[in-house]
Structure 1
Amino acid sequence: MRRTLGPVSSSGLNSRPSMGRQSMGLPSKGPQRTSMAMGSSRQSMSARNQSLGRKSTGISRETMARGGSRQDPRPLSDKGFMNASIRSLLNFLMENGYDSAISPKILARPSSKDFNNIVTFLFRKIDPNFNDGTHKFEDEVASAFKALGYPFNISKTSLYAVGSPHTWPGLLAAITWLIELLTYDQEVALAPNDEEEGFEDMDKLVAVSDKAFFGYLAEAYTSFLSGDDDRYAQLEEELIEKFEAKNEEVEQECERIAVENDDIVGNMENLSQTANALPELEKRQEDLSSDLEKFHQLIEQLNDHKAALEKKVESRSAELDRNQADLSAINERVTELKNAVASQDLSAEDVRRMQGERARVEEGLEKAFATKQQHSKELWEAETELNKVCDELEAAASVFNSKATELQLIPETAKHSQGKKFKIVVDKALAEESDTNAMLGNVDIKNEVRPVIAQLKETMTGNMNVAKQELLNLLDQEEQAEEQLKEALSHATTLENRARRAEEQYTKEKEQLDATIAELVAETEEAETKTTQLRDPMALETAIARNTTRLNQLKALREEKLEAAAARKEAVHNEILKALNMCADHKDYIQMQLGDLKAYGEEKLQMLQGGNTEKKVEEAVVEEETAEENFNAGADELPPPPTSA
């Protein structure tokens, strides 16, 4: 038997999971709903209210079963929440073509007319016949919110005074909930109905399949309720075809992934085979890297050697040019002489003279050539010696710059530089010139550097002498403190000896007292024995009384001796403890002063060795005077030696 629905359409609100319920943390009702934006095809709000009457009753019963009216967990009276709700309402009204005047000031405390216009505009997005005059506005608003499943009660009394501070926050929250509902409907209406394609991951594939199944379920259920069996069967066949097509695509994707996996496994095998040669290749790479670094170093050395040779070639080229010019002049002179010889008449005597002159010239040329070679050799040796000297000079300049930096002479802004440049930079190119200062970077060693260093040396020598004198004074103070410590320890030893003697005397007196008591006890026992031997009652009572009196006297004497010995022992013990405590305090104080003096001496020594300035030396002198005053004050405040009891 087929079932049919009454006035509720398949796109009605019965299948809607309220957006407000999700935002309020309430469970969703039913499957996914379709769009609410199809106002022309929907029934009136009154008919929908009638169809939702049973659902609203169920909600109210569920609410009553859970314990009465529900409290709104939202911070309705919070200003931040209200401002956010007002901005959301204002943006929605402006985006959807609200035709009345609207502003944040109006929404902060609206009038009844503004509230009527806003609520009518919003509910007519759902039901175009809302507030058509057939019902009271207040009744229709409360019923509409209840029919839509708003989880909180809308009081009709609050609708009569919408702008009051205690009613407007709750109504604003209800309107915000309605805006969220309408926004959800708009998003659903704009959402694409086509199924998503692709196999990025299994979650997306499952989501696509679920979407297709739920779409089929919605249409098939509508066809089942309306009795359209043909459409129902067609939908089922379409769903089967879609799933089969998806299964084929999944199988193809699986085959493709299997092929890719095979390729990856092959690549892994190839990589595992080549992995054995990896250590050898890495070692070869290290060797090649080392060779490459050596080649780079060699190239740098060759470039430096090349630059030096180029300088020499330039100098030799200049010399060659000069020699060629001289040779040209000589050749010209020879030509002139030859021409003169050719033009004059020669005799045998002239020929012999000329041959002798020629021999002398050739001999002079050979001597000049030998002299030239000797000069070239000496020049090469001089250049070698110059390079060696320049290297040594650069090393000495580096040491000088380092020491000058430690002495605060470098840079020019250093404390002892006096605004002068003391950093030496050796320039080999200026070695042939006579200006030594230019070769050393325009630093005058004799006239500028040496006077400053000598002055600094004198200053540091004076500071060192002062510091040495201070150190000697500190050592004297240390010796005095050690002597005081020895005296205090000797005094403590004397007190310990006195305490030991007092303890021995106490023990001796106690033994004597114990012996006296033992004798008295023996006498008492002897007296008791004699009394037992006496038969005369009067004599017995007299002896007992006498012995009892004697015994009491001995007991009192014993108690007195014990109390005196205990008091004396306690006094001696307290005096010993007091003396020991004073010795310990004095020893700690002396050790602390000695530690401070040693630390101060080490600091002064480090300051002198590190090349500190006059200002630091003056500060050290002030600190030393302060430390000496503190030490003297502490020595004056030393505790007095303990007095004997």
Structure 2
Amino acid sequence: KFEEEVVASFKGLGYGFPISKTGLASVGAPHTWPPILAALTWLVGLLGYEEKAKASKLQDDAEPEALDDASPLEKVFFEYLGHAYVAYMTQDTEELESLAEGLNAVFEEKIQFIYDEAERQADINMALEDEIKQMDSKAASLPESLEKLENLNTKANDYRKVIENLLAYKEDFSAKVSKKNLQLQENEKKLGEIRTIVNSLKVKISSQGLTTEDVRRMELEQVRLKEGLERSKETKKSNNDELLKHEAELSKRFGKLEEIVKNYNSKASELQFIPITAKNSGQKKINDRNRKKGRQ
């Protein structure tokens, strides 16, 4: 019957209170409805728990990387609660003790891990303290290091200035090189023009049809002209030397003549022969004689 199946199902699910078959036959009666409502509420809670348990298991299987360090313990404890609740409802004392021992073992293992981690962190802290002490000892030399750093910065600034000067010199030198390259190009252009002219002259010379005898005669004539030019230069040099010699002699004689004239003028002045108006000047006597002739 339906009533018997319901009672057996609730008992199999671990419901802890008896359900009356008579109450199931008359559900609408006021004295039978509260126990049945309580059983239904318990059944809804059990179904909700089952649904959440399945969803949590699926989530753990789908996203295992999302679990943090506490998630395994929570999962173990959650599973323990599920199994312990079933054992409690079925009054299975041995299962409860086994579950409790397993949970204690898990927690003891976790506690031991925490102790080991604490010791490891203590070792790390000691190493950090040693490192801090070393850094404190190095801090004593910090002013000297800062002074060295300042000196290095000063040298770096000097090097920057040198580099700037070198760059400016490089730009100036590059400009000069460019200018020289332009001049070189112009010179090469002029050289090309000269080569063209030389080649054209060579062509003209080659087209004149000179014989070997003509060339030899021209060479002899050139040698003769050079020799004549050299002789002319030597003659000119000799004449110049002779001229300089005569000029020196003439200058010497002019000097003596000037000295004689100077002595003459001095003596003539003393004797009153000069100037013309002097007493003993012959010009005055000539003028007087001319005047007398004019009167006669």
Q: State the TM-score, normalized to the length of structure 1.
A: 0.23
- Rg: which structure is higher? 2
Q: State the TM-score, normalized to the length of structure 2.
A: 0.44
